[in-house]
Amino acid sequence: MSAPARSDSPARLEALIGALKAKSILTEEELAARQAQTDRASPEIGARMVARAWLDPEWRRRLLSDGSAAAEAMGVSMAGAPPLGVLEDTPQRHHLVVCTLCSCYPRAVLGYPPHWYKSFGFRARSVRDPRGVLAEWGTVLPEGVDIRVVDSTADYRWMVLPLRPDGTEGWSEDQLAAIVTRDALVGVALPKVPPAAAAA
């Protein structure tokens, strides 16, 4: 469990920012731009990256070989962020992303991490019993599917390229992106075709 925030934390942060500005390491404009970028980040970016990979084999290769470069190609600045790796699910292997030490998370493409991702229970149990944790999310995988737990760290961040669901043939990028949730991008859930779409 993380330590409670110290009451003087805001003052310390302001002092640090002031020192960086005084040494011309950081300007007010750069700080505002970085804050705006952080606020714009959301799982919709990661979902769009996945949808494009489902439709475009060349883009898929690019995404898997260098996630950071792929994000930059979509207009997402990765400046100052750790490298982004993308884990491809297959019919034989499913990936689950966890940060065992704290809450390392690819914020540039997924936004802020959810509270449960940062919890000690999720972090510890995902390593010990990943299949059980997934089942609690309603993600029940066949026994023959290997579950690989991947540690997201301060040095390297990860997201998942899940399997494209059956029944999405002929769908547009927008339609595909709409079924890729934040939970699917870290591996606790699978993209699902809405019942109405499946019946159409």
Catalytic hit among 103, 126, 152, 172: 103
Catalytic hit among 104, 119, 126, 152: 104
Catalytic hit among 68, 99, 126, 152: 99
Strands 84-88 and 93-98: unpaired
104 labelled catalytic:
yes
**Measured distance CA(19)–CA(9) in Å, rounded:** 15
Catalytic hit among 9, 65, 77, 102: 102
CB 159 within 8 A of CB 46: yes
119 labelled catalytic:
no
102 labelled catalytic:
yes
- Which whole-number Å values give the CA distances from 22 to 25, 42, 79, 84, 187, in the listed order? 8, 32, 22, 32, 43
172 labelled catalytic:
no
Dihedral of alpha carbons 10, 12, 13, 14, sign: positive
**Measured distance CA(188)–CA(98) in Å, rounded:** 10
Residues identified as active-site:
99, 102-104
